[in-house]
Structure 1
């Protein structure tokens, strides 16, 4: 018998324990009959204000990922979605492929969507090549992002990091803060803007920004939900969250 609420599909989502945005965003984006269920990766030290602390945060996430996957699998999901993004960009295109395989192997071969692969698919669907990217990260992860998109065939105009000091402070970045960032990275050669970092809620602002920037703006949480659904064969469109989910 199908699940009463997730009667079309149940999607497992893996998030850091410090993340307060992904659950809100995926529920806002969820089509009828598709539900999202989170497993949380424990983070003891949430500092990420410099190179060493940022790398340590990624190490903590990888160490607790298996337990989060184990826990969420008890809900019997049909698909798995990664609600964290920095590690999925590490190591370029090959690194993302290996990360997906690592996770899939732990969940019985289930399809896995990552933020990196979702953003790539989104940009390919929209049909753009020259992109400007912003993140909440430190320079080490911005280098991962630059490498990934470059290897995936995009012309990266710039990657701008907000240098958030802690994992929870990412969720405290306001729309007013981001207006200035968008204006700074919107160069004439930029064909689309991409936001990465799943604890930065940008799904509604991306849609609004498209109206005054006049170009596609891709929020990573929107892209990851969109890609997860498309991989599963669901073609639902959702308005109010940008060109990607409305038209593709």
Structure 2
């Protein structure tokens, strides 16, 4: 059996995405995830916070993953939501140019999934500040996708995102489900939410696309892996199969 090695770019203060990503792959022979970090400690719209996502820092982390001969590189972060979707398109092109390895991101994968299903009404759950959340909403509105419901926690410290409890996340999801979206998106890869998606889909009768899961879905698809084998993580793993 051919091994598939997924290379995952991780914000330095993120403690949620690595265990969740590995849990998704658990029990699948030959699949493994390998991680490289770059410094991200705060999410805001000021110059210092935005500067954390300078492409050169991310590409330096990607070149370390190339040493492990990974089959694909995925940026497991949501910054393109407020920086603009083209930022991730250009970043992935630069990663591939620097490493020779196909690259994708959580947000490019999410947007592909939205297009596959023709979803135009989404709800967003995040830990972010209000102005960050508004920027995300505006970028989706410009792309023809209406954010019909949103919930944010007004937190800026990235480490603290992973400390958000399951009870708080459940309250956020319940609050946006009343807007009857086609899909609810936990929009942060440092939320411990991916493993709850299937439960929420059953509870609220709509899709739930967690951003930690979206990048795994796309990386596996780029490697020719049938993602429908990944069960218990929501309906998105059956998309594109």
- On whether the aligned pair clears a TM of 0.5, the verdict is yes
Contact 2:149 2:181 in 1 (8 A): no
Alpha-carbon deviations, 1:45-75, whole Å to 9, x = none? x344x643xx523412426323312222211
Counterpart residue number, 1:143: 134
Name 2:198's counterpart in structure 1.
Answer: 207
Q: Distance in 2 between matches of 1:91 and 1:178?
A: 24
SS in 2 for 1:199: coil
Match of 1:40 in 2: 37
| Cα distance between partner residues in 1 of 2:205 and 2:233 | 15
User: What is the match of residue 22 of structure 1?
Assistant: 17
Comparing 97-106 with 207-216, which one deviates more in the overlay? Answer: 97-106
Are residues 1:168 and 2:163 paired? Answer: no
Question: In 2 relative to 1, CA 8–208 (structure 1 residues): closer, same or farther, beyond 3 Å?
Answer: same
How many pairs are equivalent? 236
Write the mapping of 1:45-194 to structure 2, written as runs, cut at 5 A: 46-48=41-43, 51-52=45-46, 55-62=47-54, 64-86=57-79, 88-108=80-100, 110-194=101-185
Give the whole-Å Cα distance in 2 for the aligned partners of 1:27 and 1:207: 17
- Normalised to the residue count of structure 1, the TM-score between the two structures is 0.85
Is contact 1:217–1:242 with CA below 8 Å preserved after alignment?
Answer: yes
Normalising by structure 2, report the TM-score. 0.87
Structure 2: unaligned runs, 5 residues or longer: none
The Cα of 1:231 is off from its aligned counterpart by: 2.5
Given that 2:21 and 2:212 are in contact with CA atoms closer than 8 Å, whether structure 1 keeps it comes out as: yes
Deviations 1:188-235 (A, max 9, x none): 441211111111121111111111111111111111101111123221
Q: Provide the alpha-carbon RMSD of the alignment.
A: 2.2
